[in-house]
């Protein structure tokens, strides 16, 4: 369960210049926050509102189809190759890195319980693509190409390269068994290609933006293919959904964080938001956060069409690594940042450091 500690943003701890009077601000904005939460929940089922991501945790049909397919191909492939960019990759990368054993792709099949390795290609850098394709046995690789529109230039460029390589080693007919496409249910270039070629397909739901699509087949399929318990993920989504429907700001951690981030920007001039997990397994949560923050809040127009060019800037960091690179800037540079630390309460393992040196300072 996520715990949220915002005490270090209170003026009683960090002073009036840097902090907020949280009790006063919560009291002032509680009715507005309640109104916003109620409005979101009222609009989420209406077409065109792009709020269907709020319902993804309850899509039992998608869950069943993903699990059925993952079970069907279990043991057939040594590798999963995900082709996607932005929301089609970042969430899957973040969750798989967080939940799989470290160095998953270097483990033996036995250490991975005979689940496949997983690789995400989210760029068209030729050296990276050629390097990976040269070491993968494509005959034993399942390719999951993900793009809702089917016209994402980078992803389709990747797929054309990979399709060509698959056809070379498997033939024009057999290669189709090594491709699964996740795209729009009716329209788009990839949908047309998939139907023409006979690929297995999964759907990116309507009214779900790419950056919020990880709990659809976009993310659930790659996660299930490597043995991650997506039932538990969906249960966690439901638990958080119930918690975040709470209109009382004192009991809703997302509302608290949203208000604090907003007020720190507009009242205290802290328009740089640093995400800094103290866990290497959560490193890519920062990458995901940067996309969610920037694409959601970077706007050149308001709802009335006025040109405003606003948006706090997200920055990714990793503890303790960035204590020895960025942290001096955070600590001694311009006072324009709010830093969000993520602490892991219980790691999966422990590490005892032996006392083998008798020197002062270590």
Characterize 58-77 residue by residue with b for buried, 16 or more Cβ atoms within 10 angstroms of its Cβ, and e for exposed.
ebeebbebbbebbeebeeeb
Q: Is 131 helix (H, G, I), strand (E, B) or coil?
A: helix
Predicted local confidence at residue 1, as pLDDT: 77
DSSP conformation class of 85: -
Average pLDDT for residues 96-102, to the nearest whole number?
A: 98
Pairing of strands 313-316, 337-342: unpaired
Q: pLDDT band for position 89 (50/70/90)? A: very high
What is the C-alpha separation between 98 and 219, in angstroms, rounded?
13
What is the C-alpha separation between 100 and 221, in angstroms, rounded?
15
- pLDDT tens string 8-19: 999 999 999 999
| Long-range Cβ pairs for the range 52-60 (8 Å, 24+) | 52/205, 52/206, 52/207, 52/208, 53/208, 53/209, 53/212, 53/213, 53/215, 54/241, 56/205, 56/208, 56/213, 56/215, 56/216, 56/237, 57/215, 57/234, 57/237, 57/238, 57/241, 58/238, 59/205, 59/216
Residue 266, strand partner residues: none
Q: pLDDT band for position 274 (50/70/90)? A: very high
Average pLDDT for residues 166-184, to the nearest whole number?
A: 98
- pLDDT tens string 339-360: 999 999 999 999 999 989 988 8
Residue 140, strand partner residues: none
Q: Which residue has the tokens 């490597």?
A: 226
Predicted local confidence at residue 358, as pLDDT: 87
Percent of the chain with pLDDT over 90: 96
Instruction: List phi, psi (to 5°) of 267.
Output: -100, -30
Sheet architecture: strand order including 313-316: 313-316, 272-277, 337-342
Full set of structural domains in the chain with CATH:
7-44+247-342 (3.40.50.10490), 52-228 (3.40.50.10490)
83-to-45, 71, 168, 187, 313 alpha-carbon distances in Å: 30, 21, 19, 19, 27
Rounded mean pLDDT of the chain?
A: 96
- pLDDT tens string 294-343: 999 999 998 899 999 999 999 999 999 999 999 999 999 999 999 999 99
Report the 10 Å Cβ neighbour count for 141.
Answer: 22
């Amino acid at each position: 369960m996520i715990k949220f500690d915002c005490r270090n943003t209170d003026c009683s701890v960090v002073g009036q210049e840097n902090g907020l009077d949280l009790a006063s601000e919560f009291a002032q904005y509680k009715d507005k926050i309640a109104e916003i939460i109620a409005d979101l929940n009222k609009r989420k089922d209406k077409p065109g509102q792009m709020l269907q991501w709020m319902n993804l945790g309850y899509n039992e049909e998608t869950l069943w189809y993903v699990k059925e397919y993952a079970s069907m191909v279990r043991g057939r492939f040594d590798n999963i190759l995900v082709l996607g960019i932005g929301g089609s990759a970042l969430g899957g990368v973040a969750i798989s890195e967080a939940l799989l054993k470290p160095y998953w792709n270097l483990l033996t099949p036995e250490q991975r319980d005979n689940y496949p390795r997983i690789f995400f290609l989210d760029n068209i850098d030729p050296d990276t693509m050629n390097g990976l394709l040269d070491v993968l046995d494509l005959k034993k690789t399942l390719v999951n190409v993900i793009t809702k529109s089917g016209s994402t230039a980078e992803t389709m460029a990747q797929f054309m390269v990979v399709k060509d390589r698959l056809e070379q080693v498997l033939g024009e007919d057999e290669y189709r068994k090594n491709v699964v496409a996740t795209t729009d249910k009716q329209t788009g270039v990839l949908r047309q290609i998939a139907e023409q070629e006979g690929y297995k397909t999964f759907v990116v739901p309507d009214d779900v933006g790419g950056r919020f699509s990880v709990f659809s087949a976009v993310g659930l399929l790659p996660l299930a293919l490597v043995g991650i318990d997506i039932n538990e993920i969906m249960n966690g989504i439901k638990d958080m959904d119930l918690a975040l429907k709470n209109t009382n700001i004192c009991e809703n951690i997302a509302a608290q964080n949203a208000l604090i981030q907003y007020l720190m920007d507009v009242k205290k001039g802290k328009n740089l938001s640093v995400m800094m997990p103290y866990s290497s397994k959560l490193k890519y949560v920062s990458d995901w956060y940067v996309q969610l923050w920037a694409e959601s809040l970077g706007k050149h127009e308001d709802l009335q069409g006025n040109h405003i060019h606003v948006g706090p800037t997200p920055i990714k960091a990793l503890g303790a690594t960035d204590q020895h690179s960025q942290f001096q800037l955070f600590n001694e540079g311009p006072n324009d940042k709010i830093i969000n630390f993520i602490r892991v309460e219980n790691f999966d393992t422990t590490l005892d450091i032996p006392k083998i040196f008798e020197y002062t300072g270590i």
